[in-house]
Amino acid sequence: MSSTTILAGMFISLVALMLTSAPLAFVLGAIAFLTTVSVWEPSALIVGTLNTFKTMKSEALMAIPLYVLMASILQKAGIIEALYMAMEKWFGRLSGGLAIGTIVICTIMAAMTGIVGAAVAAMGILALPSMLERKYNVELSVGTICAGGTLGILIPPSVVTIVYAITAQISIGKMFIACIVPGIILATTYCIYIVIRVSLNPDLAPKPETVGDVDLAEKLQSLTALALPFFVIFSVLGSIYMGLATPTEAAAVGVFGTFLSAMFMGKLRPELVSAACGDTLRVTAMIMWITIGAKAFISAFNATGAPDSMLLYIETLNASPLVVLMVMLLILIFLGLFLDEIGIILLCVPVFLPIVDTLGYDPLWFGVLFMITAQMAYITPPFGYTLFYLKAVLPEGISIGRVYRGIMPFFALQLLVLVLFITLPELVTWLPNQVRGN
């Protein structure tokens, strides 16, 4: 069998079996094992088993449960709620203020843990009812929540970024640093968009009718709600950037910080911790089982010799690097419609990264572009995680169709920022280069 036949067989069976709605982990693993048996000999399967043993003791992947645990406790302990109250006092008077405040809170949450589900669920429960009560436009409200929630993918620390860095074999710390500026730019873009939309059409976000400002003392007092989250952010990111701890150790420090915060709020009860641990295992097991399947799939894929022939093919194409880059990004956006991000990383990064290297692009920069396509994937149907989370908390009478319409402008904004970073790579590479220089 030629490698092309094997490859075609692998991908056709991948698509066909995925459509049966079988778990991705088993689909990837089973195809990998069957390919190995039919092409080589059964004893070659031992490689997959040894890889699994290696995955089981990966220090870097161990950061995943720790960040998920942080997010779950922050959400359950009402710390996000306190933040939202403070934000309402500060931004509530502005036109479109609640929407901007939602983006701000999502940014703060993203800087703490970056678990998209936690941000979307929390904002869906807190921000959505209060925006709807104030007669905010439904599409604008849900779009803001979905787009804001996905900021967690880009703004460090982020689980998706960790998986990317591990798969691409680049430093997780550097990848985090590279994501800071793009994350801020994206969050700012959302805010600017909201301000422009609302000033063009004030009906989208009516100001509150009752006059009478919240007095300054009350405003300042509400700021104490920020203290705990900033303590957590500082303990996590601070210990990474100052070189005190690896991202995994920093996550452990962050878990400690969130426990302290929850205790401070008087919410640290056994039931809460038990529920948070349950959430954590559910998410971690899901990611890690896919990782096992995908690693087996990738090693079978690599063994067919396909990556080499693909690289050779691209070189003979003589296409401009930009065109190749565009094709890769389009594939990522397309896959994002159907596949989970962790799955996409594990499938595509080992294939794409040699190409990125050959073209002379910076893997950090490509990583940032990847994270933006990942955010696009998270808000687009049919496989948009944020839509699932939001659907669970959506008030009755709002059809999922309105949610889809609501996310469209934000999808366009993400596309705009993606193009911006492609045309001005310095926006991404400047900060990590500064750090590298020192």
Partner 1 sequence: MHKLALGITAMNRFLFEAAKWLVLAIAALMLYEVISRYSFASPTSWAPELATLLFGPFFLLGGPYLLHSGGHVSVDLLTDRLQGTTKKAFIVAEIILAVAFGGILFWFAYPLAVDSFNYRETSFTSWNPQIWPSKAVLPLAMALLIMQSFAELVFVFLEEEAKR
Binding site for partner 1 (CB under 8 A): 17-27, 29-30, 33-34, 45-46, 48-50, 52-53, 55-59, 61-62, 65-66, 69, 239, 244-245, 248-249, 251-253, 255-256, 273-274, 277-278, 280-282, 284-286, 288-290, 292-293, 338-340, 343, 382-383
State the nearest-atom distance from the C-beta of 337 to partner 1, in Å: 10
Nearer to partner 1, 57 or 396 (CB): 57
Nearer to partner 1, 30 or 311 (CB): 30
State the nearest-atom distance from the C-beta of 269 to partner 1, in Å: 14
The token pair at 401 is 């169709």
State the nearest-atom distance from the C-beta of 16 to partner 1, in Å: 10
State the nearest-atom distance from the C-beta of 66 to partner 1, in Å: 6
Nearer to partner 1, 21 or 318 (CB): 21
CB 399 within 8 A of CB 160: no
Nearer to partner 1, 45 or 413 (CB): 45
Tokens 């956006």 belong to residue: 333
Compute the distance between CA of residue 259 and CA of residue 167 in angstroms, rounded to an integer.
31
Tokens 């403070």 belong to residue: 86
Compute the distance between CA of residue 293 and CA of residue 396 in angstroms, rounded to an integer.
39
CB 315 within 8 A of CB 355: no
State the nearest-atom distance from the C-beta of 52 to partner 1, in Å: 6
Nearer to partner 1, 63 or 140 (CB): 63
Compute the distance between CA of residue 370 and CA of residue 203 in angstroms, rounded to an integer.
36
The token pair at 131 is 């925006």
Nearer to partner 1, 11 or 430 (CB): 11
CB 123 within 8 A of CB 102: yes
State the nearest-atom distance from the C-beta of 130 to partner 1, in Å: 31
Compute the distance between CA of residue 274 and CA of residue 336 in angstroms, rounded to an integer.
33
Nearer to partner 1, 185 or 277 (CB): 277
Nearer to partner 1, 244 or 263 (CB): 244
CB 157 within 8 A of CB 120: no
Closest CA to 158 of 256, 254, 289, 294: 254
Compute the distance between CA of residue 180 and CA of residue 2 in angstroms, rounded to an integer.
45
State the nearest-atom distance from the C-beta of 69 to partner 1, in Å: 6
* DSSP 8-state code for residue 235: I
State the nearest-atom distance from the C-beta of 29 to partner 1, in Å: 4
Q: Which amino acid is at 438?
A: N
* DSSP 8-state code for residue 202: G
> What single string gives the DSSP state of each residue in 271-290?
HHHHHHHHHHHHHHHHHHHH
